[in-house]
Amino acid sequence: MRALLSCTLLLCFLALPARGETVGSIPRPVSGSWAVDTTGTLSSSTLAGVNRWGRDVDDQGLGQLAVVVVRTTGGRNPRTFATELFNRWGIGHAGRDDGALLFIALKDRKAEIVLGNGVDSSEDTRRSDAIMSGEIVPAFKRGDPEGAVLAGARGLSQLLEQSPLNMSPRGTSPAPPAAPPVRVSVPAPSDPEPFHPPEPPRPTLSRRLEQAASDANPWLLGGGAGGLVMGFMGLRRWLRRRPRICEGCQQPRQLLDESADDAHLDAGQRREENLGSVDYDAWWCVSCEDVRVERYGSWFTVYSKCPQCAYKTKSESMTTLREATYDHGGTVLVNVTCKHCSYHTHFTRSTPPKTRPSSSSSGSSRGGSSGFGGGRSSGGGSSGSW
């Protein structure tokens, strides 16, 4: 009986779900290290590679990266877990928010890339997606966790280096060489010829044009631009209203008014005119009883071409599902409908977080002994599973 009870208790114990790591239980990497592996999966050479890339980007002031490998999050959402860990450690530099975290939960078969708020532009996110789907996940699927970690760390170091945040010119260009001095020969006192200093060099053509542009009245320049726009509009109107000749009888055509031309438009064209997205002109030939319809799209309209009926009758409306805050972005539901046909679809779109007032003191002490500088993330980045 005791043996049966012991076996039952053992089976119950083995059936219990594995307790995962908590954000607070994961040790910070020591100073000079950029990786933490609580599972003992990564070799010393893999950790050295991660540390090398982390040290390089940090030494150059391009950002900070970290790699964390755990067994499981114990049922917590890996994305939320990784973002909370990112902000707890403050990965990245305060004020720049240029951190990047590769978080891996091996038993959960989940990987997350979390980007700091300063390096989560659309271009950065596309690179993050490419690293996750093209490098990390394939390596895990072929049973190579160390290859996945190395590819992820290398990719994130390149992402930080090529991020728009770091693409501004660094330093100043060297000063141009000084012009050679002008040598002037001064006649001796006994020389009877009077001394004439050399004439200053005449300005070049480009310099004279620059001077004329700087001296021009800005109001005249603005008027000139306005004149060009008005001239273009006038030319466009003249081209639209100029007489048309029938190709068959070579007689002039007649421009029908708005009410009469509807008889020569199909239902979609009439809908476009009613919406103001397109205007049509109908030129009628009395002799041939033939009509020529010409299309003129509106420059300013909320409607676009429908993929189903091809008329310019598609519109979008947005409903906020989640408000953006200073700590995270928002989500909106986009409804797409066509005012002419039955086309309808919808999708969600992410909105960026609100811009927090600049402050360098809010996270300056977050780094602790790890060397992290107090960066923040709203959860941007990429997710993967295998």
Domain borders along the chain are: 15-165+366-385, 314-351
pLDDT for residue 369 = 44
Return the percent helix, strand and coil in the chain, to nearest 5: 35, 20, 40
Per-residue pLDDT tens over the stretch 290-325: 999 999 988 778 899 999 999 999 998 888 888 877
SS3 state at 89 = helix
Mean pLDDT of the chain: 80
Number of CB atoms found within 10 A of residue 28's CB: 18
pLDDT for residue 175 = 42
Which tokens hold the place of 96?
A: 């720049």
- DSSP 8-state code for residue 302: S
Number of CB atoms found within 10 A of residue 268's CB: 19
User: For residues 30 and 317, what is the distance between their CA atoms, to the nearest angstrom?
Assistant: 50
- DSSP 8-state code for residue 256: -
SS3 state at 320 = strand
- Point out the residues of the chain with pLDDT beneath 70: 1-20, 168-226, 229, 326-328, 354-370
- DSSP 8-state code for residue 131: H
Cβ-based neighbours of 181, under 8 Å, separated by 6 or more: none
Residue with tokens 């779900």: 17
- Phi, psi of 382, rounded to the nearest 5 degrees: -140, 155
pLDDT for residue 174 = 41
Is CATH 3.10.310.50 correct for 15-165+366-385? yes
**99, β-bridge pairs:** 64
User: For residues 258 and 274, what is the distance between their CA atoms, to the nearest angstrom?
Assistant: 11
Cβ-based neighbours of 271, under 8 Å, separated by 6 or more: 311, 313, 339, 340
pLDDT for residue 68 = 97
Closest among 11, 45, 38, 51 to 107, alpha carbons compared? 38
pLDDT for residue 331 = 84
pLDDT for residue 307 = 93
Q: Give me the DSSP letters along 8-47.
A: HHHHHHHHSPPP---GGGSPPPPTT--EEESSS-S-HHHH
